[in-house]
Structure 1
Amino acid sequence: MSQTTATAGGGAVPEPDAKTTPAFRRLVVASSLGSAIEHYDFFIYAFTAPLVFDHFFFPKMDSVASMMAVYATFAVGFVARPLGGMVFGHYGDKIGRKAMLMMTFVIMGVASFLIGCLPRYDSAGLFAPVALVFLRFMQGFAFGGEYMNAVSLTLENAPQKRRGFFASWVNASGPIGIIVASGLIAILSGAYGKDLFIDWVWRIPFLFSFVLVVIGTYIRHSVDESLLLKKKHDEVGTQKAPILTALRSHKKAIVLGCLANMVHSSFQYLSTVFVIGYAVRTLGMSPAQVTSGPMFANIAEMLMVPLIAFYSDRFGRKPFMILGIVLAMIWFPIFFQILAMKDPLLLILGLVVSIGLIHGLMFAPEAAFTAELFPTEIRVSGSSLGKQFGIIFGGGMAPLVATWLMGQAGGSTTPVILYFEAIAAMAFVGMLLAPDKAKKVLD
């Protein structure tokens, strides 16, 4: 771990200016790589579904209805996330962060592998889409319990003045998984062509999850538990129902965490998942041209997140998050004008600006910001509620709502733009009212 100071309760906590040790660096790597693999599993669905699943699982519907069904199954994963956050947050606060990270990892990987084994609707009937919905639910259930356990484990063992930087590695590693997922899909769709990709090649990224599960389980098995959580358990005991304590005593913090995550996730998924479907189905661009864009955008974000988070330790979380929200409100309508040009290079550049810069400003400080809203003994439970409900109402519902709005408006993107602007305006007010605990000692 980082250098620690003994406490009266018998535990140990990191010193404010402590140097990191090999044990702490292993913890950061384990949390980060695990998060990257979890994001890979979650986003191979996000990038494959708009290209394949309407043909494969919903062939009896017209084009709009089938895409609505695809985005509905996409949203199921997000609906399951608060449940996973509540279950794994409860036990993460009572038992420990590490054990929950092991469980969520295995559940996510197995669900992804099984999606790659599903038969198509033409051969299995309703079993195929029903099984898809169930496995997507399990993906979301695991992903909901993963994030805040990983962030809290890292944050609580980090030096006080570098919490944001080290916690951001969990966020920065997410784009690695997205890069691998989008890059692999772009390579496979380009190498085999659209027809073969839809027929069977799409299964390869899902089946590859089995290998990643084995690697990730081994990596996470070697890390230690949170020192700060052990200290709290020694001093005040274990909370009987951490989630109920959070709901009773930390309602404002939950709402603020929800708004922070709602705005960045809606911007992210509208700029990637929705745009992929829109560019291919409406604008007629090829899947290979479209799916390469998120890969470059996430490379940029992977590099930007630790840098932004580093400065959030010095200047606070709120200035960067507020700047990101304002820029997102300005940029979002401009991005759709760029899309209308149907230029693959401009699309890639637009995604780099959207995800690499603007989303990065909101996303980089978010890990520490959300976790710091809550005390240690209920940190995972409380922050998971804010995180996962924010992502449901933001990113999880955004592609579905945007598709419906555009269908109602006869193909116009104006309602989609207004929809995001409303979310951003609420988050902007929330950030103005939120506390900034970047320089305060964790309690």
Structure 2
Amino acid sequence: MPYESSALPTAERRLDRQDVRTLVLSALGGALEFYDFVIFVFFTKVLGQLFFPAHMPEWLAQVQVFGIFAAGYLARPLGGIVMAHFGDKVGRKRMFTLSVFLMALPTLCIGLLPVYAQVGVLAPLLLLLMRVVQGIAIGGEIPGAWVFVAEHVPTNRVGFACASLTSGLTAGILIGSLVAAGLNAHYPASAILDYAWRIPFLLGGVFGFLAVYLRRWLRETPVFAQMRECRELADELPVKRVVRDHLPGVFLSVAVTWLLTAAIVVVILMTPTLAQSTFHVDRERAFTGSSAAALALTVGCLIAGVLVDRIGRAWSLLQGSVALVATTYALYVDLASGAVHFIPLYALAGLCAGVVGVVPAVMVAAFPPAVRFSGISFSYNLAYAVFGAATPPLVSYMAERLGGMAPAHYVAVAAVCGIGVGAYLVRTRRAFYER
């Protein structure tokens, strides 16, 4: 059964000034780093034209670019396991800073890469390599960030702390969406293909190095400091202990991560491209809707965190999953009917995708402090390697071959898994760390 932590700060108190400072700096740094990871997806059509042969069918080039995007997810377990190992052994803060540096460098390099017309097949191979390095970085960043903020705050604020970090990460999507929308509004398509596509990646490199600077002001978590002082750190390979002793927590975390991948990858990241290619929504309107959805998602995460601290993880997850299904279907039915209400429905779907703000609170409570980083990282990155890597090319292919409603069907299946987890936690709430 999921572990009820005895090492988290136990005081039932309000967030103090130091807590707020930690949450703000963590969320801001996470936003800048996650921008680096997701800006790629907002330019899939452009990258497909630039990094693959001109005679290749558009849908096939798009599928291949989504495949390169997905390769970042396949690389996540490697980065997650290595960084989590040292995070559980030598400290959360060091890995928290290293991950953002490893993200900034390849993002900057993508903005400097030659294209297919210049170097042929080497162009997509270099793009793939940069994406793999990004995946390694993000594999350690997100689990480490959740553990970092959860171990800094009192137990009655863990839900909000994790959700605020998740909100910061999703703000990175909003920044990416706004940058993409701004470029598409300011530059003609020919200029974007010529040189302007490089701008968001060069900005991402600058953003990443700024995040490295911000994180130097953070301090180690009280939970890790206490474990180190009391010599309670894992005395063996942390991930080995996770697999041997905490498989229920692993299964639980994998299940909720699938819900998270569907909400973020399909609803938020892929829908703008699918709206253009499948439903013929014009480019500027698609990116405007994307910005509205990303902003609503940021707010939705915070609402989810407040609900976790008030009504518990189980009911928050259950209700949020149902809302996600309903609003995603509403969005795609509207797209299939002419996209008359596209922007408001996309914003509503983004708000309900805020159920992802519940997910880290579920996972933090699933593992004991000594292996918490490794447990979350192993589960989360394993799930993302499977579901996150398969989702972009699979959903793109399904939309092309099976019809425009296919993405909504996929989200519904993942959300049913979230509903099942929520129902399970309602039944076993006494064995689950709720507050």
TM-score by length of 2: 0.92
User: Residue 399 of structure 1 aligns with which residue?
Assistant: 392
Greater shift in the superposed pair: 282-291 or 413-422? 413-422
Q: Answer yes or no: is 1:34 the counterpart of 2:29.
A: yes
- 1:48 corresponds, among 33, 36, 43, to 43
Structure 1: which amino acid aligns with 2:9? P
Q: Answer yes or no: is 1:430 the counterpart of 2:421.
A: yes
Question: What is the rounded CA distance, in whole Å, between the counterparts of 1:107 and 1:237 in structure 2?
Answer: 26
Q: Answer yes or no: is 1:388 the counterpart of 2:384.
A: no
Q: Give the drift of 1:364.
A: 1.7
2:259–2:356 CA contact under 8 A, matched in 1: no
Q: Answer yes or no: is 1:419 the counterpart of 2:415.
A: no
Greater shift in the superposed pair: 246-255 or 267-276? 267-276
User: Residue 360 of structure 2 aligns with which residue?
Assistant: 367
- 1:226 corresponds, among 208, 214, 221, to 221
Q: Give the drift of 1:21.
A: 3.9
Q: Give the drift of 1:353.
A: 1.2
Q: Give the drift of 1:113.
A: 0.7
Q: Answer yes or no: is 1:155 the counterpart of 2:150.
A: yes
Question: What is the rounded CA distance, in whole Å, between the counterparts of 2:277 and 2:405 in structure 1?
Answer: 18
Does the C-alpha gap of structure 1 residues 176 and 415 become closer, same or farther in structure 2, counting only changes over 3 Å?
closer
Structure 2: which amino acid aligns with 1:53? L
Question: What is the rounded CA distance, in whole Å, between the counterparts of 1:375 and 1:347 in structure 2?
Answer: 44
User: Residue 57 of structure 1 aligns with which residue?
Assistant: 51
Q: Give the drift of 1:19.
A: 4.3
- 1:175 corresponds, among 170, 174, 182, to 170
Q: Answer yes or no: is 1:408 the counterpart of 2:401.
A: yes
User: Residue 3 of structure 2 aligns with which residue?
Assistant: none
Q: Give the drift of 1:53.
A: 1.0
User: Residue 91 of structure 2 aligns with which residue?
Assistant: 96
Task: Give percent identity, aligned residues only.
Answer: 25
Q: Give the drift of 1:415.
A: 4.3
Greater shift in the superposed pair: 223-232 or 181-190? 223-232
Counting only pairs closer than 5 Å after superposition, residues 105-184 of structure 1 correspond to structure 2 as 105-184=100-179
Question: What is the rounded CA distance, in whole Å, between the counterparts of 2:107 and 2:312 in structure 1?
Answer: 37
Q: Answer yes or no: is 1:71 the counterpart of 2:66.
A: yes
TM-score by length of 1: 0.90
Question: What is the rounded CA distance, in whole Å, between the counterparts of 1:128 and 1:363 in structure 2?
Answer: 35
Q: Give the drift of 1:414.
A: 4.5
Does the C-alpha gap of structure 1 residues 112 and 103 become closer, same or farther in structure 2, counting only changes over 3 Å?
same
Q: Give the drift of 1:348.
A: 1.5
1:258–1:385 CA contact under 8 A, matched in 2: no
- 1:325 corresponds, among 304, 313, 321, to 321
1:265–1:395 CA contact under 8 A, matched in 2: yes
- 1:351 corresponds, among 346, 351, 356, to 346
Q: Give the drift of 1:387.
A: 1.7
Structure 1 unmatched ranges of 5 or more: 1-6
Does the C-alpha gap of structure 1 residues 264 and 68 become closer, same or farther in structure 2, counting only changes over 3 Å?
same
Summarize deviations over 1:405-426 as a string: whole Å, max 9, x none: 23333xx134444433333323
Secondary structure of the structure 1 residue equivalent to 2:95: helix
Question: What is the rounded CA distance, in whole Å, between the counterparts of 1:421 and 1:108 in structure 2?
Answer: 32
Summarize deviations over 1:231-277 as a string: whole Å, max 9, x none: 22324243321111111111121111111111132133222333222
User: Residue 203 of structure 1 aligns with which residue?
Assistant: 198
- The number of equivalent residue pairs is 424
User: Residue 4 of structure 1 aligns with which residue?
Assistant: none
Q: Answer yes or no: is 1:188 the counterpart of 2:183.
A: yes
Structure 2: which amino acid aligns with 1:326? V
Does the C-alpha gap of structure 1 residues 416 and 306 become closer, same or farther in structure 2, counting only changes over 3 Å?
closer
Q: Give the drift of 1:279.
A: 1.8
Q: Give the drift of 1:328.
A: 2.5
2:159–2:306 CA contact under 8 A, matched in 1: yes
The runs of 4+ residues in structure 1 deviating greater than 6 Å are none
Does the C-alpha gap of structure 1 residues 279 and 304 become closer, same or farther in structure 2, counting only changes over 3 Å?
closer
Q: Give the drift of 1:15.
A: 4.2
Does the C-alpha gap of structure 1 residues 224 and 163 become closer, same or farther in structure 2, counting only changes over 3 Å?
same
Question: What is the rounded CA distance, in whole Å, between the counterparts of 1:18 and 1:323 in structure 2?
Answer: 27
Q: Give the drift of 1:62.
A: 1.6
Summarize deviations over 1:283-332 as a string: whole Å, max 9, x none: 32222211121211122222232233122112101111111222233333
Question: What is the rounded CA distance, in whole Å, between the counterparts of 2:209 and 2:408 in structure 1?
Answer: 42
Question: What is the rounded CA distance, in whole Å, between the counterparts of 1:76 and 1:149 in structure 2?
Answer: 21
Does the C-alpha gap of structure 1 residues 365 and 267 become closer, same or farther in structure 2, counting only changes over 3 Å?
closer
1:259–1:426 CA contact under 8 A, matched in 2: yes
Structure 1: which amino acid aligns with 2:376? S
